[in-house]
Structure 1
Amino acid sequence: MIIRPETAGDIIPIRALTTIAFAGMPYSDGTEAAIIDRLRADGALVISLVAEIDDVVVGHVAFSPVEVADGADDWFGLGPVSVDPDRQKGGIGMALIKTGLDRLREIGAAGCVLLGDPGYYERFGFRHYDALRFPGPPPEYFLALTLRGSVASGIVQYHKAFYGAAA
């Protein structure tokens, strides 16, 4: 397996992979592929990595900037992350996330947030902080990882691409 930055030739495979990976998931509204496209169009897809096996894209992870109410700089959101359903539970998602977090550290990111299963994401060091909030879903599913400094505080807002808007 190779983990590498996306290229222009990966856009259609990423869209197809993301669509199939989220199809039928109870927590999905089916917009994940469009979110990635809007992030890319806005230049907000700060880190976009693919996992490739035998020249086929089998996984993808996206990282984009978030705004935190306390004004903290250099915080990012992880997601969407997609793995070919036939290859899930084989370490592809883990490799993408670890590589992406390493890239965030390299660019000097202060932290990363996500909405996801604590049982899965705690293995990467993510945890719930009462001071950092995302309105709507149950609070225990909104997790953060500090990469430098202390944890930010306040309400987090993802890039407008997550809400159906692009430049």
Structure 2
Amino acid sequence: MYVRHERQGDEKAIRDVTVAAFEGHPHSDQSEPLIIERLREAGALSVSLVAEMNDDIVGHIAFSPVTLTPAESGWFGLGPVSVKPEVQAQGIGRQLILEGLEWLRAEGAAGCVVVGDPAYYQKFGFRNESALVFLGCAPQYFMALALSGAMAAGTVAYHPAFGGA
């Protein structure tokens, strides 16, 4: 398995992986493939990595800019992250997250936020930060990781692609 940046022609495989990964998931409204497509169309898919095994795309991760109020630049949101069900629990998602965060660090990003399972994302250094708020989300599921400098404070908003109709 190796991780690389998305390239032209990967769109259908990314969609298929994302659909399969979230199918029947109790915390999904099945909008994840549309979110990725909307981010791509808006030019807001800042980091889009795929995991390949035997020339087959088996995983994908997206990072997109988030806004903070009061204004703080250089922050990104992680997600969605998807792995084909038949190869889950083999470290593919972990590798996608690690390489995506490393890419953000190398580009000088200030930090990253995620909504998800605290037991999973805390392994990567994400923590619940009371100074950062994502309205409408239970605080224990919203976590942040400072990548350079101090932790930000304020209210976070994801790109409109996450809520578009």
Shift of 1:138: 1.2
Alpha-carbon distance between aligned partners in 2 of 1:93 and 1:87, rounded to the nearest angstrom? 10
Q: After the TM superposition, which parts of structure 1 deviate over 6 Å for at least 4 consecutive aligned residues? A: none
Question: Normalising to structure 1: TM-score of the pair?
Answer: 0.97
Tell me the number of residue pairs that the alignment of Structure 1 and Structure 2 aligns.
165
**Aligned-CA RMSD value:** 0.7
Counterpart position of 2:156: 156
- 1:135-156 deviation per Cα after TM superposition (whole angstroms, max 9, x unaligned): 1121010000000111111110
For structure 1, which runs of at least 5 residues remain unmatched after alignment?
A: none
Residue 95 of structure 1 is matched in structure 2 by 95
Distance 1:89 1:83 in 2: 9
Question: Kindly, what percent of the aligned residue pairs are identical?
Answer: 56
Structure-1 separation of matches of 2:137 and 2:22? 18
What does residue range 1-167 of structure 1 map to in structure 2 within 5 Å?
A: 1-164=1-164
Structure 1: how far apart are the matches of 2:134 and 2:55?
A: 38
One-letter identity of the residue aligned with 1:68: L
Structure 2-normalised TM-score? 0.98
Unaligned runs of 5+ in 2: none
